[in-house]
Amino acid sequence: MNRKKNIFIIGILCLFVVTASFIQIYRVNAAYPSAKQVYIPFSKIHMLEEGINLSVISSKWLNNEAVREKYGEYLDLGSSDMKVVYTTVEIQNITDKEMKVPLYKLYIESDLHYCNGLDLEMYMIDNTNQPVEINLKSKEKVTVSLPYSIYSFQFKENEWNSIEDYNFYLVNSRYPVKYCWKLK
């Protein structure tokens, strides 16, 4: 009889803990709703952060051969099949003071729920004497190339074969509003 009573008490306690957990989950979800997504059309200017505008000028895919031809002399690219999304952006300081723009905060995302950061080694090859955190003087505008490497092992075979057909975006902030610059 004592054993049944202990099991009953433990069951009631577990039910109480599960109920309290669900209540907390509900409260957090109510306080922090899903991010609103804003899609910026290709080549349109939009605010990257306060006082800084960004627009995508061009975007192209480099296949495995082109990547190895362009970067193989400088980098050990391994044996994996890879592609690079090579994006050129224009960044402008619209304020009257000097501003810093951290390019390493720009990610690439896709409709495939894929996300990857800037390939810093390739960036340094493409943008010699250009740090990853740019200092822009008042009203200054710069054009920067941003390479994002993508590997075949990160996707299913059918996705990899048609990867260039999917929508990819540059993303800076994710919450409360997620701004997505379209790459095509």
C-alpha span between 39 and 146 (Å, rounded): 19
Report residue 1's pLDDT band, with 50, 70 and 90 as the boundaries: low
Q: Alpha-carbon distance 60 to 161, whole Å?
A: 16
| Nearest partner of 81 among 146, 159, 171, 166, judged by Cα | 159
| Single pTM value for the model | 0.79
Rounded mean pLDDT of 133-140? 92
Q: What whole-number distance in Å separates Cα of residue 89 and Cα of residue 70?
A: 20
pLDDT tens track for 77-115: 777 788 999 999 999 999 999 999 999 999 999 887 788
Banded model confidence at residue 155, pLDDT cuts 50, 70, 90: confident
**Model pLDDT for residues 22-67, shown as the tens digit of each residue:** 888 877 777 777 778 889 999 999 999 889 999 999 999 998 888 8
